[in-house]
Each structure stands twice: as C-alpha cells, then as structure tokens.
Amino acid sequence: MLKWFSKKKIELDPLDFSVLITDIHSHFIPGIDDGSPDMETTIALIKKMQVLGFRKVITTPHVMSDFYKNSSEIILKGLTDIRAELKAQNIDMEIEAAAEYYIDYDFDQKIGQEKFLTFGDNYILVELSFMEAPENLFDIIFKLQLEGYKVVLAHPERYAFFTMDDYKGLVHRGVLLQINWLSIIGYYSPQIEQKTKELIAAEMVSFIGSDCHNMNHAELYEKCQTKEAWHDLNNSCKLLNNTL
C-alpha cells in the first residue's frame, strides 16, 4: 500500500507518457459532442498527444440520451474520417474509438439489446451524473458484467458524492477506475486533487486518461509529468493502459 507522507507539492524529473503507450479517454471526433469542433483541431490535438509520448489513442465520444445522441455508426464514421486524414498527412498515430456512456434510464434499457462500443478486453467506459449516483447503479453494473463487459468508471474522483468506502465497494464489484490527468494538478478543484491522490495511494486506479476536449486541456498535460502522484501511480504497476 502506497502512503502519502507529505502534503508538500513535490516536483520530480519529468516522466513522459510513453510508458503508457495508450490514452483511453478523449473527445477527438469532430463535431459530435463537446470535444473537437472540426478536423483541423482534431489533428492538432492528436499531434500534441504524440509529442507527449502516446503512440495510440482510444477516443471516446459522449453518448447521452438528452444531449449527445451518438450512435455507434456515427462514432465509427468519425473514426474512419480521422484515420483517412492521419494517413493523408502521414501522421503515425494509431487511433481507435469506443464511447463514454452516460448511465441513465435509456442506457439501462439498452443493456442486452444493443452492442456497445468497447476497447481492449471488452472494457466499457461509463460516466455518471455529477449530482448523484443512480439508485440502481450496482444493478446496472451487474447487468453489464453478465453481458460480458468489463466496466470502467470515468473520472470517479470528480463525483463528490463518493467516499473512499464507496470506491472500495465499486472495486470489490469488479469496476475499474479511470482517473483524469488534470485531476492530478488540481485543474477541477483542490478537493478533487486530494481525492485523486488518495485513490492512487490506495492503489485503486486501473487506468488514467486525458479526457481531452480541447487544446487548453492538451497544453496542461505536460505539467502532470513532474508530479509525485503520477510517478507513484506509474510505480504502482496497477495501470492497464499499456496492455491495450
């Protein structure tokens, strides 16, 4: 078990992201959610990911019944377009697509009826409301698992309603936790930064993702490379990014 001995912000030598190989959470498909608005921006973001050390990105557009009604067909068409542009520009970056599914009533109704977009070993990325967890969250997780999916919860550190005991309960049920890079540097709030450190110290983090939406995000990732939390997370040998 890792221990957090100091509250001082320790800066270490930069550790780039080539050790991960793959980023698993981003919003690069142009014009279909709150991420990249156009192909030019998409290519600029992918080039930035390349500079940061990534050799592969798995982009994950929002699928939300109320806001982003993206189908698998829409997402995969966007992926095909990006691949064509990367080839045209001779950019050597592997890209795949899955989705970030918002857990709500409509999503629940699709389980067992629709084949969801996944990555790696049938991992499915899901997110929750920032207000509260669904009352039937554990039931939904179990239903997904019965269908053969391995549930990955996006940015759990950003859900203020979760306690450390809640995270332990999720992990105990086979849920894999994916934190965001920007949480490490306090981008969302100091409270989220602290919770992220606690999750890392408890060795409950299985994936880390950029959750990149725009160039403002992309310009901040380099700051993460000197943070003690990132070094400790890498040293924990719990991360699965490089298995994808």
pLDDT over 70 at 3, yes or no: no
pLDDT over 90 at 20, yes or no: yes
For β-strands 123-127 and 100-102, DSSP reports them as: parallel
CA nearest to 18, candidates 57, 55, 58? 55
CA nearest to 4, candidates 195, 240, 216? 195
152-172: average pLDDT = 98
pLDDT over 80 at 10, yes or no: no
* Distance of alpha carbon 86 from alpha carbon 211, whole angstroms: 20
Strand partners, 212: 26
Is 199:179 a contact under the CB 8 Å cutoff? Answer: yes
Taking the CB of residue 213, how many other CB atoms lie within 10 A of it?
A: 17
- Where would I find the H helices in 96-205? 105-110, 137-146, 164-172, 181-184, 190-201
Token representation of residue 50: 């390349």
Q: Is the pTM of this model over 0.85?
A: yes
**C-alpha angle with apex 223: 155 to 206, nearest 5 degrees?**
35
- Mean of the per-residue pLDDT values of the chain: 95
Domains of the chain: 17-239 (3.20.20.140)
Q: With H, G, I as helix, E, B as strand and everything else as coil, classify residue 231.
A: helix
119-146: average pLDDT = 97
Q: Predicted confidence band at 11 (pLDDT cuts at 50, 70, 90)?
A: confident
List all residues 6 or more positions away from 22 whose beta carbon is below 8 Å from its beta carbon.
Answer: 54, 55, 56, 57, 58, 241, 242, 244
Amino acid 5: pLDDT: 46
- Residues 26-75 pLDDT 10s: 999 999 999 999 999 999 999 999 999 999 999 999 999 989 999 999 99
CA nearest to 74, candidates 45, 105, 97, 108? 97
Q: Which helix (H) or strand (E) holds 80?
A: helix 72-88
Share of the chain above pLDDT 90, in %: 94
Is 126:103 a contact under the CB 8 Å cutoff? Answer: yes
- Residues 67-118 pLDDT 10s: 999 999 999 999 999 999 999 999 999 999 999 999 999 999 999 999 999 9
Is 106:65 a contact under the CB 8 Å cutoff? Answer: yes
Higher per-residue pLDDT: 221 or 4: 221
